[in-house]
Amino acid sequence: MYSTELSAAEVAIAERRGAWVTVVLSGPDGFEATCTTDATAPWFRKGMFGSVGKPGNAAALPARGIAATQLGTGSIADKPLSIASGRVGAEVAAISYTSSAQEEVIATVAKGQFAFWLPGNDLQNASDHGVPIDVTYRDGSTETQLLNF
């Protein structure tokens, strides 16, 4: 269904944190594909979760804008993982999230995309309520934004 878009997409983020791997592809006209896997899942319970397509919020972002395309919790082999990913404007240099355990989770920001994830169901209801994130801009200024759809 998305073979043309996938052939034109490029890797924006490819990162491993422990056994979890997340890859974000981006392409023309707002196309994105995201996949997260767990290398420790038992053979017959291996799996992945992610998304593919052109998000409804694919309009041009302001320079300091952030648009989530994934925001919530998935699980593989009964192990939950919270994930947020999406697009960022040209002036966004860094994003961090403070977990419910008060640990700072640093997002990867590259090629107009961002992604962060952490074990557990920290972001389980995030798509309904949004979550506060700390954003650093290229000029060094910072602010807290509510990440939502």
Residues 80, 149, 51, 45: what is their CA dihedral angle, to the nearest 10 degrees? 10
pLDDT higher than threshold 90 for residue 28? no
Q: Per residue in 38-62, pLDDT tens? A: 877 766 666 788 888 886 655 678 9
Greatest Cα pair distance in the chain:
49
Reading the block at residue 58, the tokens are 């694919």
Which helix (H) or strand (E) element contains residue 17? strand 10-17
Q: What angle do CA 28, 23, 51 make, to 5 degrees?
A: 65
Model's pTM, two decimal places?
0.90
Decide if 64 contacts 137 (C-beta within 8 A): yes
What value does the CA radius of gyration of the chain take, rounded to a whole number of Å? 15
How far apart CA 15 and CA 74 sit, in angstroms, is: 17
pLDDT of residue 76: 82
